[in-house]
A = this chain, B = another copy of it.
Amino acid sequence: MNEFELIARLTKSLPTNETVVAGAGDDCAVLDLGVPEKLILFKTDAVVEGIHFTKETPPEKIGRKALARCLSDIAAMAGTPTAALVTIALPKNFAAEFVGKIYDGLNTLAKKTGVAVVGGETTTNPERILISIALLGTIPRARQILRSGAKVGDAIFVTGELGGSLAEKHLEFEPRLEEARWLAEHFRLHALMDLSDGLGGDLRHILNASGAGAEILKSAVPVSRTAKLAARGNSSAKPAFVAALTDGEDFELLFTVASKDAVKLLDAWKKKFPEVKLSCIGKIVSGAGILIRDKHGAHQFNAHGYVHFA
């Protein structure tokens, strides 16, 4: 049983109440706590030594990444982050200075993104550092953009470049908060999420939630320079295109809009965010699964994105 199978099983019949607008299964839970014009976003995410960072990772970057991952989930709802709690589990003989630097990295990103750090907890995890972040955010009531809204004919967009993130970007990425809010304010997004497990895996979440398939134009997928270099230098490495679809930890936005909005959106984006690439990589089609179209034709894409526990 892998992570996704376990989650599917565990989230089948969770307790609910009248505050729940969207529970498990999207980037954030969405709650109605009675704020007149807003809904509340609620998200947790954890990073673990040896998995999401190493013993050699500078502590400031560990703290930064822990928060940035959660912020990316708020971006995936086109939301505004508000307040975070930090739970940090430490081996017994931790160095206080090291822990202080984890907080420094986290606090710097919190300040930059307007997030209050309102406390948390320290506990013991004897073998390795684990940091779990809980984050609250808000969205305007009329603007819930879930994974389930993609429609046949939609254009599929992705920000930035994909693949090779583990070389460096996973510690330094900018959560696409501003970009996502701008998109949601100016265009009617049908589906939106952030890429954490790789386009090949994450796009399936939109397709499954929306009951549709996708056709991706291979030449349109923005493969990162890092992924290209890694493939070029090592014959046993993944081809760069496969890396772009499966490496994970890109933390870019993946979204769909009606095809009639696609050109207008691309033009407006280039003016607003000239330094952030935006690529139309394909379209939503009827059916299920992902078809990759290249000069030889169309092929089913069966590889998955990164799966924990796999």
Contact = CB atoms under 8 A, between A and B. Distances in A.
A303 interface: no
Given A14-B107, A114-B17, A125-B48, A25 B308 contact: no
Chain A: interface secondary structure?
A: mixed
Contact of A125 (B13, B37, B94, B128): B128
A97 B83 CA distance: 35
Interface string A128-164: 1010101010100000000000000000000000000
B118 A9 contact: no
Copies in the complex: 2
Interface in A1-52: 1, 3, 6-7, 9-11, 13-17, 19-20, 23-25, 29, 31, 33-38, 40, 42-46, 48, 50-51
Contact of A44 (B38, B114, B132): B132
A42 B83 contact: yes
Nearest to A5: B96
Interface residues of A, number: 72
Contacts of A10: 99-100, 103, 122
A297 interface: no
A120 interface: yes
Interface of A: 1, 3, 6-7, 9-11, 13-17, 19-20, 23-25, 29, 31, 33-38, 40, 42-46, 48, 50-51, 82-83, 85-87, 89-90, 92, 94, 96, 99-100, 103, 107, 110-111, 114-128, 130, 132, 134, 136, 138, 308-309
